[in-house]
Structure 1
Amino acid sequence: MDYLEIAFELIVGFVALLILTKVLGKTQISQITPFDFISAIILGELVGNSLYDNKEGVKEILFAISIWGGLIFLTEKLTQRSRRLRHLFENTPSIIIRKGQIEFKELKKNHLDLNQLQQLLRAKDVFSVRECEYAILETDGSLSVIKKPLYASVQKQDLNLAPASAAIPISVILDGEIIYDNLKMIDVDENWLVSELHKKGFTSARDVLFGEWQDGKELLLQGY
């Protein structure tokens, strides 16, 4: 197998995997379950092994990716429609701490030890089990925590404060380049942005490392 053939098969495999990840959706990465993890590894192995097998070509690579991707896609569709199949392939969340008490049977069932539980709790800013009322182990291995009322964060409604409207920060300049699509999103033009730059002492967008707009707040600009 020459280098040109390897490069061609790599490009074909890359494009095929890219298309497949678009079809399967973001949950394949962002909310990965043990089944998703194994399927992703096997998918990569199918492409990797095919590259260095002299008997396998582009057709075989595409065929293997299509069959395996089709099986994953079919499984996702079935789990969306059937609760039983969803439990079989993705499992269900487990309550690890209930009313402040550690559920030892659930720990053993999920092969989780106390040190791992403490680490997961610390990731949620809970440094003592006594602070936790409920802890739920999600299907992707993350932990969702409800603190006891004594340790819960104070919210505005607890203080009878008027809530402020939520606003999404929008990047308007990144690495000295204006993000024109984001300018359209916030309904402003380049002239407005240049005017704001001059007010902040910048001659052009090229002098700005990062620029962020947020409704109701002053334009954030940081130079190099």
Structure 2
Amino acid sequence: MELWETMLRSISAFVLMMFLARLLGKPTIAQMTYHDFVAVITLGSITANLAFNNTISIRILLTSMLTFTGIAYLLMVLAMKNQKLRSWFSGKPTVLIQEGKIMEGNMRKLKVTLDTLNQELRGKNFFNIQDVQYAVLELNGSISVLPKPDCMPVIKKDLHLKSQSEQAFPIELIMDGDIIEANLQQNNLTTEWLQSQIKKKGLSLKEINYAVISTDGNVYFDEYKDQIESPIDKE
């Protein structure tokens, strides 16, 4: 009877964990931010006890699992609604290399060594650190790299350009419909200038979900209304 009970509990734990994973969504699995990491570790421990610990009642384990799932789901919803809470719960991307210079203070703060940085850069096919313009440690622990202009691979569009302008780091202007005033001030941009760019596109601020100045200096706008009739989620 104990073997059958263990098998039944294990199957139930697996099915329940799959359901909870689907409920929390793909970003929780892919990104693993601070609160995601805590939630996954805790839920994994509770699920293991549900599978083989016969001394703890299933009712208590289920209550504990559903409570932690509710907390994780609530934090995820709050993070989506509020940028400040999202920054506190999930953290912020951190610049490790800026304009070709290593940010030693940021690396010490994040406990990142030069060996680790070089290893991550080699994983991005950058064996010479002097070829890197920007390197950013993302929320999920990966490092994004922007090479210096003369180290960028040639693409078809480059063959039609007479001169290549200096590359710059993307500047986020609007996120979740809110203007990022700090970024405007740091880059000597005004709200009036942003409003004029919005008008050139024939849009209004309330229609914009995300806006960014890309590395080529152009302003990109993403509207709330995607005008896609049947979005496809490839699984």
Q: Is the 8 A contact 2:35 2:72 kept in 1?
A: no
What is the CA distance between 1:46 and its match in structure 2? 0.7
CA distance in 2, matches of 1:53, 1:20: 20
Alpha-carbon distance between aligned partners in 2 of 1:51 and 1:20, rounded to the nearest angstrom:
16
CA drift at 1:136? 0.8
1:14 corresponds in structure 2 to 14
Within a 5 Å distance, the mapping from 1:93-108 to structure 2 comes to: 93-108=93-108
User: Highest CA radius of gyration, 1 or 2?
Assistant: 1
Question: Any idea what SS the aligned residue of 2:144 has?
Answer: strand
Question: Partner letter of residue 155 of structure 1?
Answer: I
- Are 1:16 and 1:65, in contact at CA under 8 Å, matched by a contact in 2? no
Using the TM superposition, give the Cα deviation of residue 52 of structure 1 relative to its aligned residue in structure 2, in angstroms: 4.0
Residue 37 of structure 1 deviates from its aligned partner by 2.1
Give the deviation of 1:150 after TM superposition: 1.0
Task: Give the aligned residue type for 1:151.
Answer: C
**SS of equivalent to 2:96:** strand
Paired position in structure 2 for 1:111:
111
| Aligned AA (2:139) | T
Query: Which residue does 1:179 correspond to in 2?
Result: none
Query: How high is the TM-score relative to the length of structure 1?
Result: 0.68
Number of residue-to-residue matches in the alignment: 161
Deviation at 1:28, TM superposition (A): 1.6
Instruction: Please state whether the residue corresponding to 1:97 is helix, strand or coil.
Output: strand
State whether residues 12 and 58 of structure 1, in contact with CA within 8 Å, keep that contact through their aligned partners in structure 2: no
1:76 matched to 2:70? The reply is: no
Q: Following the alignment from structure 2 to structure 1, what is the Cα–Cα distance between the partners of residues 34 and 79?
A: 14
- Superimposed CA distance per residue, residues 109-132 of structure 1 (whole angstroms, 9 cap, x where no aligned partner): 111000000011111111111100
How far apart are residue 7 of structure 1 and its match? 1.1
For 2:12, give the aligned amino acid.
V
Does the aligned pair in 2 maintain the 1:97–1:132 contact within 8 Å? Answer: yes
What is aligned with 2:127?
127
Question: Are 1:145 and 2:145 an aligned pair?
Answer: yes
Contact 1:120–1:143 at 8 Å: present in 2 too?
A: yes
Q: CA deviation at 1:19?
A: 0.6
**8 Å contact from structure 1 (residues 20, 69) kept in 2:** yes
Q: Corresponding residue for 1:59?
A: 59
Bigger mean CA deviation after superposition, 86-95 or 1-10: 1-10
State the distance in 1 between where 2:157 and 2:37 align. Answer: 41
The Cα RMSD (Å) is: 1.6
Residue 148 (structure 1) shift: 0.5
Q: Deviations over 1:21-74 (max 9, x none)?
A: 111101122112233223211101012124444342332332222111111000
SS of 2:47's partner is: helix
What is the letter of the counterpart of residue 79 of structure 1?
A
CA–CA separation in structure 2 for the residues paired with 1:147 and 1:74: 38
In the TM superposition, 1:72-221 aligns within 5 A as 72-160=72-160
Give me the whole-angstrom Cα distance separating, in 2, the residues matched to 1:86 and 1:110. Answer: 19
Match in the other structure for 1:204: none
Q: Residue in 1 aligned with 2:35? A: 35
Rounded Cα–Cα distance in structure 2 between residues aligned with 1:35 and 1:111: 19
The AA in structure 2 aligned to 1:74 is: L
Corresponding letter in the other structure for 1:126: F
2: CA distance between counterparts of 1:122 and 1:16?
A: 40
**Deviation per CA, 1:150-202, whole angstroms, max 9, x where unpaired?**
110111111129xxxxxxxxxxxxxxxxxxxxxxxxxxxxxxxxxxxxxxxxx
CA distance in 1, matches of 2:146, 2:75: 32
1:150 alignment partner, SS class:
helix
Give, in whole Å, the separation in 1 of the partners of 2:156 and 2:7: 58
Q: Residues of 2 paired with 1:50 and 1:19: CA distance?
A: 15
Extract unaligned runs of 5+ from structure 1. Answer: 162-224
**Distance in 2 between residues matched to 1:26 and 1:48, nearest whole Å:** 22
